[in-house]
């Protein structure tokens, strides 16, 4: 990452601008020059897409007088008018963010005028003694100040608003009233247009923060594009300023995005501290790096476009095999990577304590959890621990209404009609008893992580040594510590082990098909094997085939992004989207028959394992019921006799 000396934008300088900022929000008159006012909102064709006429742009510099009569801009009144007469906490938060954003922008502009010499030119111009030879320089510096003040206002406001945003998104269209005559006029033009966008798109309080944030994002894009060809901005683009009270860092015309992240209080684990679980650990390591390839400007991940991204996965295993440790490892990796890159990271866990007795509340909790993790402005990792307890099976009388609500929400979010996989987040469902998870919900897990814990003699020596710590003098003996945890060697052996099925029921299907058609070395033969699996287990549907092909595409990208790319973001993370896409495409490997068969067997093994366990649990329950019934009859007859 490019290093730069970060200066402090002092709090006193910002607070000194509060009065001027409040004045702009309270009211001023502005006659738009590059945009046309719209008096009333029109009907919308679909949610979030406005149908108002676009602002009519003119060529900057040719307009010398207002094209529209001046009108009052009263942002405080506009925002307060959305409520029921009293300013709500959300309205107050938005106004505070706007005032703070304007004040930061004015303070930044004041610093620029002092550093660039513009303050002397302004004074000379007021006194009528500005030399003709310096008029061009004066005009360029005024335009530069206007651009940096506009960008800083939008950047700081978007940063401050980020924690207040929910799942609602708003599309405000273009921003046209971008004036560069001077900084005060530039801010008036931007606030005039913001006032109109609030009127048009924030018809209710719930859309207010989203509308303001969308306006700020659009304004940043427009100003940054204009700044590419503007002179006199070198000092701003090369500098960096820290606003300590807000945790905000302003780095030229680059958006500050750290506001949406959350502070984690989790005991992270290093990869070598996860003993066994080779495939699960390997896939978690790769998935963490895949998430970091997400492009915040394009709001898309190259892996998601190429088809090798894991959006949902199921981790299952017996109690004590390391599911929690796996979560701690992956969350720790993402947290460290995001700190280096300056990306916001958000981890959320959904657990049984979020099941509520009030009707509809559990579903709301689940929806809030999903919305928090899929936020396109963060790198997100969501986990659902003990999902067999959290989400109920449909038709199960023992499941509460709240558990049924959660199941419906998760099914719609993970593979519903409106599901959009951007590649900025992933969801992990973990369970000791996956056979108790609703079949349709379980099949929405695109990948299966078998968390089987330590298996070999070397694994048990490693985990004993790890957990014993260093407060002893017991010799290690004839053993190379953690050599068995060498991930590539262990994973290669684990994948090879799935060249044939493990579960007895699936092995019978494999032997039958192999006896009929010979080696499964063509798509037609593999397709016949898939049909035979479906005949043996009707729950093996088209969704299962999609999950398998997704897993095969992941195997085609059977490479780990180099650690250097995570440690030095300029090598990969900060590159343009198309360049990142090309770099990833260059590392992919061709799909082979072995990959396809191994992934079919891995997935089908898990389904047969779940089905067998589920059937056995059901049979055992019925046997106990019959035994109780017989014993009750015996005691009844004895008592009667």
Tell me the three-class secondary structure of 535-587, residue by residue.
HHCCCCCHHHHHHHHHHHHHHHCCCCCCHHHHHCHHHCCCCCHHHHHHHHHCC
What is each CA distance from 579 to 462, 481, 601, in whole angstroms? 41, 40, 35
153: helix, strand or coil:
helix
DSSP element (H, E) containing 266: none
pLDDT of residue 14: 96
Long-range contacts, 412-417 (Cβ 8 Å, 24+): 413/367, 413/370, 413/374, 414/311, 414/312, 414/441, 414/444, 414/445, 415/312, 415/444, 415/543
Contacts 24+ apart (CB under 8 A), 498-501: 498/597, 498/598, 498/599, 498/601, 498/602, 498/605, 499/594, 499/597, 499/598, 499/601, 500/601, 501/601, 501/604, 501/605, 501/608
Neighbouring residues of 620: CB distance < 8 A, sequence distance ≥ 6: none
The answer, as to whether pTM is greater than 0.75, is no
Q: What is the pLDDT of residue 635?
A: 86
Question: In the chain, which residues have pLDDT < 50?
Answer: 1-4, 40-69, 258-259
What is the set of domains in the chain, with CATH numbers?
6-54+66-240+252-256 (no CATH), 271-620 (3.40.50.300)
Query: How far, in Å, CA of 133 to CA of 285, rounded?
Result: 61
| CA–CA separation, 133 and 302 (whole Å) | 51
Q: Which two tokens stand for residue 335?
A: 């947290």
Using a 10 angstrom Cβ sphere, with 0-12 exposed, 13-18 middle and 19 or more buried, the burial of residue 123 is exposed
Provide the sign of the torsion angle of the four alpha carbons 386, 387, 391, 397, taken in this order.
negative
């Amino acid at each position: 990452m490019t290093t730069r000396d970060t200066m402090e934008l002092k709090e006193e300088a910002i607070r000194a601008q509060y009065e001027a900022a409040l004045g702009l929000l309270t009211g001023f008159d502005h006659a738009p020059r590059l945009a046309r006012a719209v008096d009333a909102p029109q009907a919308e064709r679909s949610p979030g897409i406005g149908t108002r006429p676009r602002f009519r742009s003119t060529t900057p510099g040719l307009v010398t007088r207002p094209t529209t009569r001046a009108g009052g801009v009263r942002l405080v009144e506009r925002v307060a008018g959305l409520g029921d007469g009293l300013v709500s906490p959300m309205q107050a938060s938005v106004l505070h963010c706007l005032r703070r954003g304007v004040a930061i922008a004015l303070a930044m502009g004041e610093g620029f005028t002092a550093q660039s010499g513009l303050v002397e030119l302004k004074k000379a111009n007021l006194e009528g003694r500005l030399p003709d030879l310096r008029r061009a320089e004066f005009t360029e510096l005024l335009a530069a100040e206007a651009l940096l003040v506009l960008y800083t206002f939008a950047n700081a406001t978007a940063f401050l608003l980020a924690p207040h945003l929910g799942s609602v998104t708003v599309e405000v269209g273009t921003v046209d009233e971008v004036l560069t005559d001077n900084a005060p006029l530039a801010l008036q033009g931007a606030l005039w247009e913001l006032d109109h966008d609030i009127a048009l798109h924030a018809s209710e309080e719930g859309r207010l923060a989203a509308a303001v944030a969308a306006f700020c994002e659009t304004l940043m894009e427009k100003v940054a594009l204009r700044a590419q060809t503007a002179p006199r901005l070198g000092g701003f683009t090369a500098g960096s300023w820290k606003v300590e009270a807000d945790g905000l860092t302003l780095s030229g015309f680059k958006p500050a995005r750290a506001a949406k992240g959350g502070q984690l209080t989790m005991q992270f684990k290093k990869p070598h501290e996860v003993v066994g679980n080779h495939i699960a650990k390997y896939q978690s390591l790769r998935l963490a790096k895949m998430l970091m390839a997400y492009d915040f400007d394009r709001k898309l991940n190259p892996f998601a476009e190429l088809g090798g991204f894991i959006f949902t996965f199921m981790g299952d295993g017996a109690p004590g095999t390391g599911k929690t440790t796996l979560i701690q490892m992956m969350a720790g990796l993402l947290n460290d990577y995001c700190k280096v890159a300056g990306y916001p990271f958000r981890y959320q866990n959904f657990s049984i304590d979020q099941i509520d007795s009030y009707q509809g509340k559990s579903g709301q909790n689940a929806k809030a959890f999903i919305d928090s993790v899929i936020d396109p402005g963060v790198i997100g990792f969501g986990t659902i621990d003990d999902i067999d307890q959290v989400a109920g099976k449909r038709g199960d009388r023992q499941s509460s209404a709240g558990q049924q609500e959660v199941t419906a929400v998760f099914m719609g979010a993970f593979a519903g009609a409106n599901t959009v996989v951007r590649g900025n987040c992933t969801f992990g469902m973990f369970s000791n008893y996956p056979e108790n998870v609703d079949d349709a919900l379980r099949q929405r897990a695109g990948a299966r992580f078998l968390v089987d814990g330590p298996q070999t003699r070397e694994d048990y020596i490693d985990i004993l040594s790890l957990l014993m710590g260093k407060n002893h003098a017991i010799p290690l003996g004839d053993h190379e510590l953690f050599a068995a945890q060498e991930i590539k060697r262990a994973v290669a052996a684990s994948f090879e082990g799935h060249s044939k099925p493990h579960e007895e029921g699936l092995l019978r299907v494999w032997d039958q098909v192999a006896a009929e058609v010979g080696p499964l070395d063509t798509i037609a033969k593999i397709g016949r094997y898939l049909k035979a699996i479906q005949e043996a287990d009707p729950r093996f549907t088209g969704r299962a085939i999609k999950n398998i092909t997704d897993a095969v595409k992941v195997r085609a990208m059977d490479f780990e992004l180099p650690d250097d790319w995570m440690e030095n973001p300029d090598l990969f993370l900060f590159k343009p989207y198309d360049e990142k896409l090309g770099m990833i495409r260059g590392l992919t490997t061709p799909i082979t028959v072995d990959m396809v068969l191994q992934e079919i067997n891995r997935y089908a093994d898990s389904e047969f394992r779940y089905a067998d366990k589920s059937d056995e649990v059901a049979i055992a329950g019925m046997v106990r019921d019959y035994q109780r019934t017989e014993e009750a009859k015996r005691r009844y007859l004895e008592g009667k006799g």
